[in-house]
Structure 1
Amino acid sequence: MATLRQLEYLVTVVDEGSFTRAAELLHVTQPALSHQMRALERAVGGALLERLPRSVRLTPMGRAMLPHARAALADAQRARCAARQASGLESGELAVATLYSVSLGVLPPVLRVWRRAHPDVHIRLFEHRHADELLAAMDEGQADVAVGPVPPDWAGPVRELGVEEFVVVLPTDGPRDEEVVSVELATLAECAWVHYAPGHGLADLLDQVCAAAGFQPRAAVRTEQTAAAPLLAAAGLGPALVPANILPPGFDGRVLRPEPAVRRTLAAYTRREPDPVTAAFLDVLAREAHVVPSHLVGSVLP
């Protein structure tokens, strides 16, 4: 049977790409590391790694086992944290996985309240560009809780937080009519857009909503940073589609509601029933997460 130490060795060898570097990081000799890896391979009934002259490569068996090894190590870490909490210790770490846009717009007030209530339980934040990456990382056991779009066919607990609204940001120097609070996306078909980098989840979203409106958006500029998109749009580079909750009060840009509306439901989800620390975080999240910003309700948002 595989041991946690052997699984840790496997993950470290893969992450480091070298038995030599892994042995140094694990503070063991290379022969001892190789011995444990051979023992693991005997236990599972086949080779997990292919030894190359200057690196290692996972075999099909290794690729199948790796996410389970990561999940087992993450579970063991959570078990240690839960044991410390059960013993009355008020310290530890909570791992939270999310999207860049959510960490920018939704999480800051949540983390501020959490920090005040639980100053010795630290947050480790893992940020991802795409909801699919977030889902895969959570499935591998990267974090205690994920915050992002509702995951399809998720086997664990899911707690919906609300419906996120998207807005269109236009240049500040364009024509203004204070009575106009919405814009039909089809009227922006000829514009060059502030787009997102390939692989970014919001790039896919913009392409999808524009396709539904009958056009493919041209990119004036592509950015990796969600926070940069509204600033570039306000500076005159072109319209941008952004989550409304990332815009601060007093944002210096023209903000309109897209027609048809662009929305997505956000949720928090875990791989299993949450332990007391995770449950406490979920309560704070549900109470403090402002999925729809109050300063835009009544002006731009319904």
Structure 2
Amino acid sequence: MSLRQFEYLITVVDEGSFTRAAESLHVTQPALSHQIQALERVVGARLLDRLPRAVRLTPAGRAWLPHARAALAEAERALTAARRTAGVECGELRVATLYSLTLGVLPPVLRCWRAEHPDVRIRLFEHRHADELREAMADGQADLALGPEPANWTGFRQRLGVEEFVVVLPPDTHHREPIDLRELADVGWVHYAPGNGLADLVDAACAERGFQPAAAVRTEQTAAAPVLAASGLGPALVPRNIVPETFDGAVLRTDPPVRRTLVAYAHKTPDPLASAFVALLAEAGWDA
């Protein structure tokens, strides 16, 4: 049993087929199949059901997968730590987060990080929902996560700041700031598609104010919401930090405010490199 075999089977699962996995790994499909069959012989059970147009994990495969992901991630971290100590390279920092935070919170932090640590690569893993992010971190995907506070997390956790949400409307809006979301209860909204964590946040904020927002249009892309709202398709509730300074639309604070606390979290106390990244996040100055 080898880490390469772990990587091969994980890639097949993530890509959904042997063909795409072989292309991603730059190996032939027969070689890939041979390695996975060898792994299954060592495990003593089939890990994949090979369907005509797809692959599916068996019960044994579903039990095996999270441990394999964690083992592969831990091996990569061990290699990076050894190389840092030996001075071979400064290594790679793996950061898991949400798509909306990649748009808003992270760009200025990454710009500062790049200036201070030009030899350290950053690998981002982006997720649509905070629950997916937590699950990925539980599986050992990254060194560090940035997101809403995870439920029942027993490892390292540090509060970073508060993210504020604003309402976006067309530039000729007649609403005054700050705006009460109840003023928008009877109109169609620019909403987020199911599975996007911001859909849950918008629904919860409106429910606290006694109504359910009707969706005039739903978007998968967080960055599209303010653009669609400014064009007149309906109000959108968006993270304030994703709206450009020169944005052509009305951006209104809410009363009462809509906010969420963000934290950095990991399985264990971060090493010095990850700790430096957490410190930079904490100094970002985006507290409400």
* TM-score strictly above 0.5: yes
Matches within 5 A, 1:165-204: 165-175=164-174, 180-204=176-200
How many residues are aligned here? Answer: 287
1:70 equivalent in alignment to 2:66: no
Q: Distance in 2 between matches of 1:21 and 1:109?
A: 35
1:247 to 220, 243, 249: 243
Q: Is the 2:162–2:286 Cα contact (8 Å) retained in structure 1?
A: no
1:290 equivalent in alignment to 2:286: yes
1:13 equivalent in alignment to 2:9: no
Cα deviation per residue 1:204-226 (whole Å; 9 max; x = unaligned)? Answer: 11112212222221122222222
- Tell me the equivalent position of 2:30: 30
Matches within 5 A, 1:1-302: 2-18=1-17, 25=25, 27=27, 30=30, 33-34=33-34, 36-53=35-52, 55-175=54-174, 180-288=176-284, 290-292=286-288
Q: What SS does the aligned partner of 1:77 have?
A: helix
Q: Distance in 2 between matches of 1:217 and 1:84?
A: 52
Aligned-pair CA distance for 1:149: 0.5
Q: What SS does the aligned partner of 1:261 have?
A: strand
Q: Distance in 1 between matches of 2:189 and 2:122?
A: 35
Alignment TM-score, normalising by the size of structure 2: 0.88
Segment of structure 1 superposing worse, 211-220 or 58-67: 211-220
Q: Is the 2:190–2:225 Cα contact (8 Å) retained in structure 1?
A: yes
Aligned-pair CA distance for 1:5: 3.1
- Tell me the equivalent position of 1:299: none
Q: Is the 2:166–2:251 Cα contact (8 Å) retained in structure 1?
A: yes
**Cα–Cα, structure 1 residues 30 and 289, in superposed 2: closer, same or farther, change >3 Å?**
farther
Aligned-pair CA distance for 1:112: 0.7
Q: Is the 1:163–1:263 Cα contact (8 Å) retained in structure 2?
A: yes
Q: What SS does the aligned partner of 2:253 have?
A: strand
Q: Is the 2:18–2:32 Cα contact (8 Å) retained in structure 1?
A: no
- Structure 1 residues without counterparts, runs of 5 or longer: 293-302
Q: Is the 1:9–1:33 Cα contact (8 Å) retained in structure 2?
A: no
Cα deviation per residue 1:143-194 (whole Å; 9 max; x = unaligned)? Answer: 2211111111112211111111111122221225xxx432222221111111
Q: Distance in 2 between matches of 1:29 and 1:192?
A: 50
Instruction: State the one-letter code of the partner of 2:241.
Output: N
Cα deviation per residue 1:103-152 (whole Å; 9 max; x = unaligned)? Answer: 11111111011000111111122222211121122222222211111111
Aligned-pair CA distance for 1:57: 2.3
Cα deviation per residue 1:25-52 (whole Å; 9 max; x = unaligned)? Answer: 3647837853x54554454443322234
Q: Percentage identity across aligned positions?
A: 65
Segment of structure 1 superposing worse, 184-193 or 11-20: 11-20
Q: Distance in 2 between matches of 1:121 and 1:31?
A: 33
Instruction: State the one-letter code of the partner of 1:57.
Output: R
Q: What SS does the aligned partner of 1:183 have?
A: coil
Instruction: State the one-letter code of the partner of 1:96.
Output: V
Q: Distance in 2 between matches of 1:19 and 1:219?
A: 39
**Cα–Cα, structure 1 residues 237 and 65, in superposed 2: closer, same or farther, change >3 Å?**
same
Q: Is the 2:18–2:29 Cα contact (8 Å) retained in structure 1?
A: no
Q: Distance in 1 between matches of 2:171 and 2:17?
A: 53
Query: Which of these two proteins has the greater Rg computed from alpha carbons?
Result: 1
Q: What SS does the aligned partner of 1:111 have?
A: helix
Q: What SS does the aligned partner of 1:260 have?
A: strand
Q: What SS does the aligned partner of 1:160 have?
A: strand
Q: Distance in 1 between matches of 2:174 and 2:15?
A: 55
Q: Distance in 2 between matches of 1:172 and 1:5?
A: 55
Instruction: State the one-letter code of the partner of 1:80.
Output: L
Q: What SS does the aligned partner of 2:151 have?
A: coil
Instruction: State the one-letter code of the partner of 1:249.
Output: E
Q: Is the 1:163–1:266 Cα contact (8 Å) retained in structure 2?
A: yes
**Cα–Cα, structure 1 residues 261 and 290, in superposed 2: closer, same or farther, change >3 Å?**
closer
Instruction: State the one-letter code of the partner of 2:9.
Output: L
Alignment TM-score, normalising by the size of structure 1: 0.85
Instruction: State the one-letter code of the partner of 1:30.
Output: P
